[in-house]
Amino acid sequence: MECCRGLRRPPAFALSYALLAPNPHNRQPWLIDLEKDNQFALYRDETRDLPHTDPYHRQIFIGLGCFLELMSIAATLRNKTAKIELFPEIPDDAVARVQLAEGGDVDPLADHILARRSCKEPFLDKPVPKDMAIALGGYGTVFTEDKEVDRIRALTWEAWLTEMHTHRTLKESVDLMRFGKTEINADPDGIDLGGPFLESLMLAGILTRENQLDPRTTGFQEGIKLYREMLSATPAYIALTTAENNRQDQIDAGRRWLRLNLETTRLGLALHPVSQALQEFDEMEPHYHRAHELLANPGETVQMLGRLGYGPETPPTPRWPLATRIMNE
Ligand SMILES: Cc1cc2nc3c(=O)[nH]c(=O)nc-3n(C[C@H](O)[C@H](O)[C@H](O)COP(=O)(O)O)c2cc1C
Please write the tens of the pLDDT for every residue from 58-107. Answer: 999 999 999 999 999 999 999 999 999 999 999 999 999 999 999 999 99
Cα distance between the two ends of the chain? 12
Distance (Å, whole) CA 305 – CA 302: 7
pLDDT at 43: 98
What pLDDT is attached to residue 4?
64
| Percent of the chain surpassing pLDDT 70 | 98
Burial of 224: CB neighbours in 10 Å, binned 0-12, 13-18, 19+: middle
In this structure, the residue with its CA closest to atom 18 of ligand 1 is 22
Say what the pLDDT of residue 328 is. 78
Confidence band of 159 (pLDDT split at 50, 70, 90):
very high
- What number does the ligand 1 atom closest to the CA of 314 have? 26
pLDDT of residue 5: 65
What separation in Å is there between the alpha carbon of 323 and the centre of ligand 1? 23
73-83 burial code (b ≥16 CB/10 A, e <16)? bbbbeeebebe
- Is residue 231 scored above 60 in pLDDT? yes
**Distance from the alpha carbon of residue 85 to the mean position of ligand 1, in angstroms:** 25
Q: For atom 2 of ligand 1, which residue has the closest CA?
A: 24
The Å distance, Cα 59 to ligand 1 centre, comes to: 10
Nearest alpha carbon to residue 172 among 306, 49, 316: 49
| Average pLDDT of the segment spanning 21-45 | 97
Give 303-318 pLDDT, tens digit per residue.
999 999 999 999 999 9
Nearest Cα residue to atom 3 of ligand 1: 24
Pairing mode, strands 141-143 and 236-242:
antiparallel
Q: Give how far Cα 265 sits from Cα of 44, 116, 136, 183, 191, Å.
A: 27, 6, 12, 29, 22
Span 232-277, pLDDT tens digits: 999 999 999 999 999 999 999 999 999 999 999 999 999 999 999 9
**Mean pLDDT within 215-242:** 94
Whether 329 has a pLDDT exceeding 80, the answer reads: no
**Average pLDDT, whole number, for the chain?**
96
Half-sphere exposure of 203 (CA within 13 A, CB side): 8
250 in ligand 1 pocket by Cβ < 6 Å? no
Relative orientation angle of helices 146-164 and 167-175, to the nearest 10 degrees: 90
Segment 207-211 shows an average pLDDT of 92
| 1 confidence band (pLDDT: 50, 70, 90) | very low
pLDDT, position 153: 98
Question: Percent of the chain at pLDDT above 90?
Answer: 91
With contact defined as beta carbons under 8 Å apart, do 44 and 57 qualify? yes
Report d(CA 18, CA 80) in Å as an integer: 14
Pocket test for ligand 1, best of 23, 54, 163, 271 (most atoms within 8 A of CB): 23
53 Cβ below 6 A of ligand 1: no
How many other C-beta atoms lie within 10 A of the C-beta of residue 143?
22
pLDDT range class, residue 219, cuts 50, 70, 90: confident
Cβ neighbours for 255, distance < 8 A, ≥ 6 positions apart: 65, 66, 68, 69
Residue 171 has pLDDT above 80, yes or no: yes
Q: Is the CB of 14 under 6 A from ligand 1?
A: no
Rounded Cα distance, 207 and 190, in Å: 17
Nearest-CA residue for atom 6 of ligand 1: 273
Give all strands (DSSP E) within the chain, no chain letters.
30-36, 39-44, 80-86, 96-102, 141-143, 177-179, 191-193, 236-242, 270-273, 301-309
Residue 3 has pLDDT above 60, yes or no: no
- In whole angstroms, give the CA distance from residue 237 to residue 286: 20
Q: Is the pLDDT of residue 2 over 70?
A: no
Please tell me whether residue 235 adopts helix, strand or coil conformation: coil
Task: Report yes or no: 302 and 156 within 8 Å, Cβ to Cβ.
Answer: no
Residue 120 pLDDT exceeds 80: yes
Task: List the residue whose alpha carbon is closest to atom 4 of ligand 1.
Answer: 24
59 ligand 1 Cβ < 6 A: yes
Give the domains, in start order, of the chain with CATH numbers. Answer: 5-114 (3.40.109.10)
Contacts of 247 (CB under 8 A, 6+ apart): 61, 86, 87
Binding site membership of 317 for ligand 1 (Cβ less than 6 Å): yes
Spatial separation of the C-alpha atoms in residues 16 and 144, rounded to whole Å: 36
Per 3-state DSSP, what percentage of the chain is helix, strand, and coil (rounded to 5)? 45, 15, 35
Question: What's the whole-model pTM score?
Answer: 0.97
